[in-house]
Structure 1
Amino acid sequence: MKLGFAMPHLLRLKATCQPWEAKVTGADQTRLAKWAEKLGYAMISVPEHHIIPKTHVDLSGPHYLSAYPTMAYLAGATEKIRVNSCIALLPLQHPAITAKALSSIDWLSSGRVSVTFGVGWLEEEFETLGVPFRERGAMSEEYIQAIIELWTKEEPAFEGKYVSFRDVAFEPKPVQKPHPPVWFGGDADAVLRRTARYASGWWPFLTKPEDIPAKIDFVKSQPDYNGKLTDVFYGFATTRVGDGHVIQKDPRARAGMTKQEIIDRLCWFKELGVTMSSVPIPSVNHLEDYLDYTQWVAEEIMPVVA
């Protein structure tokens, strides 16, 4: 079991965020990224929304970074730790732009990029950006095919309903071969089928922990399963967030759990097929307390569950 680093103030989700996080600055996050790497955390992941309608601000919060620039910055501030998204909204920008952004980060970071794509759920966000919400699944299917084509082929060509290209050059190619690890986030059968076809990782959001094994079996049972599912990320705080970011109460996933409670839950996750998790951000008074807490997790929890 590996542990991702829970970076404060990447969002202000009402269900999970602590009040002190809103004071964390970009400079603080640079310091934290270096600290996470020093302590041996496996990954930092960046959530993404481009715009939040006023009707969703209460639960979702207004504060989200753009995934790819933020991943690039964090990769540039570090030397070893992996960067990921959680999630990047696949249908909301042209796949050539997405492919170029990710291959650029991978090339510059010497191969430290993973990406978790999602199809999105916030209909008003799609409307604002002029992207057809009801077609997001079909668009995502084409976009991931086009991205992989650009990453892996010397003479990429693709013909689809939403994107087409031929007689083009695309470099730099990613350092990682055949391409950076692709994960998909979400819980619907369509997401799991897409995971089976293209991905090596899955990031559930609304799936209950006890249902994870059945979902993994579903992925692996698909007739076009690529045989590459190696990673499943399930954070402690996942069960505190419901559909539409509605708050869910789960005392088993509260912040500030004891050492044994954290270890027991991580071991349970591992039995369910989870390969990576993250410990909830606790309610502390300031950043220095969080540095101490993440060091405690690294020293007391990480060796036991590794």
Structure 2
Amino acid sequence: MQLVFNLPHMLRLKATSQPWEADVTGADQTRMVKRADEMGYDMIAVPEHFIIPNEHVELSGPHYLQSTIAQAHFAGATEKIRLNSCITVLPLQHPIVLAKTLATADWLSNGRMMVTFGVGWLEREFEILGVPFHERGRIADEYLAAIVELWTSDSPHFEGKYVSFSDVAFEPKPVQKPHLPIFIGGDADAALKRAAKYASGWWSFLTPPEKIAERLDFIKSQPGYDGRPFDVVHGMSTTRVGEGHAVLDDPNGRAGMSAEEIIDRLSWLGEQGVTISAVPLPTVRGVDEYLEYAQWVIEDIKPQVR
């Protein structure tokens, strides 16, 4: 089981946030990712929203980074750890600009970038940014195809409803070949079909953990899946977040679980097909105590996961 370093103050969801997180600064986060890299964590993942309507702030919180900028910064502070997003809201960003920023970060980090694309769910955010919400799936499919074309073709050419280009050059290409790993976030059939066609991983959100194996079989049954290695991400505390970031009460994702409880849960998730997970943020008093907890997870928990 690979472990994501659960970086505090990436967002302030009512369902999962701990009180001490709000005092964590960007400088603190940079120090923490350096330590996570030294400890041997596998990944850091950055959530993203561009703007939160006031009616969603109570559950969703107001605080989100732009995922690619944050990933690039954390890559510059580290040497080995992989940098992902969770998620990058694909339809809200121009695909040529996004392809360039991700390829740049991959090139500068010597191939440590990943990206998790999602179609988004917050309708008012789309309205504010002038993107048709009910076309977001079609936009995402087209943007994703265009991005892959830019990353992989020596003579990129694409003709679509939402984006077109020809007779152009695009460099740098990503260091990773054929391109940096793409994960797809979401739970609808359309998201899973997108994952089967384009992705090397799926980030589940609202899928109940006991249904992950069934949904993974669905992905691998699609004509777009070619047998390539495929990861599944499901953080332990994911089950405490419902649709629209509603607060759910699931003891299997609570803070303060014992070592045995965490080991059993991670092992069970692995049996469902999960290959990458994260341990809930603990109820500590600050950054230094959290880093001690993170070291305990790596040294005492990870080696015992079945």
TM-score clears 0.5 = yes
Alignment gaps of 5+ in structure 1: none
Q: Give the match for residue 197 of structure 1.
A: 197
Runs of 4+ in 1 over 2 A off after TM superposition: 226-229
| Aligned-CA RMSD value | 0.8
* Normalised TM-score (structure 1): 0.99
Q: What code does the residue aligned with 1:189 have?
A: D
Contact 2:237 2:252 (C-alpha < 8 Å) held by counterparts = no
Q: Secondary structure at the match of 1:116?
A: strand
TM superposition shift of 1:143: 0.4
**Residue correspondences, number:** 306
Q: Distance in 2 between matches of 1:226 and 1:110?
A: 27
Alignment of 1:106 with 2:106, yes or no, is yes
Q: What code does the residue aligned with 1:203 have?
A: W
TM superposition shift of 1:229: 4.7
Q: Give the match for residue 127 of structure 2.
A: 127
Q: Deviations over 1:121-158 (max 9, x none)?
A: 00000000000000000000000000000000000000
Q: Secondary structure at the match of 2:4?
A: strand
Q: Secondary structure at the match of 1:232?
A: strand
Q: Secondary structure at the match of 1:202?
A: strand
Alignment of 1:267 with 2:251, yes or no, is no
Q: Give the match for residue 34 of structure 1.
A: 34
Contact 2:204 2:233 (C-alpha < 8 Å) held by counterparts = yes
Contact 2:264 2:305 (C-alpha < 8 Å) held by counterparts = no
Q: Distance in 2 between matches of 1:285 and 1:203?
A: 30
Q: Distance in 2 between matches of 1:164 and 1:180?
A: 22
Contact 2:110 2:175 (C-alpha < 8 Å) held by counterparts = yes
Q: Among the aligned pairs, what percent are the same residue?
A: 64
Alignment of 1:3 with 2:6, yes or no, is no
Q: How does 1:69-80 map to 2 (within 5 A)?
A: 69-80=69-80
Q: Give the match for residue 167 of structure 1.
A: 167
Larger mean Cα displacement after TM superposition, 115-124 or 280-289: 280-289
TM superposition shift of 1:286: 1.5
Alignment gaps of 5+ in structure 2: none
Q: Deviations over 1:231-285 (max 9, x none)?
A: 1010011000000000000011111110010000010011000001000001111
Q: What code does the residue aligned with 2:202 have?
A: W
TM superposition shift of 1:224: 2.3
Q: Secondary structure at the match of 1:5?
A: coil
Q: Give the match for residue 115 of structure 1.
A: 115
Q: What code does the residue aligned with 1:57 have?
A: V
Q: Distance in 2 between matches of 1:195 and 1:31?
A: 33
Contact 2:263 2:304 (C-alpha < 8 Å) held by counterparts = yes
* Normalised TM-score (structure 2): 0.99
Q: What code does the residue aligned with 2:92 have?
A: L
Q: Give the match for residue 184 of structure 1.
A: 184
TM superposition shift of 1:226: 3.1
Q: Distance in 2 between matches of 1:17 and 1:250?
A: 15
Contact 1:198 1:226 (C-alpha < 8 Å) held by counterparts = no
Q: Deviations over 1:69-115 (max 9, x none)?
A: 00000000001100000000000011001100100000000000110
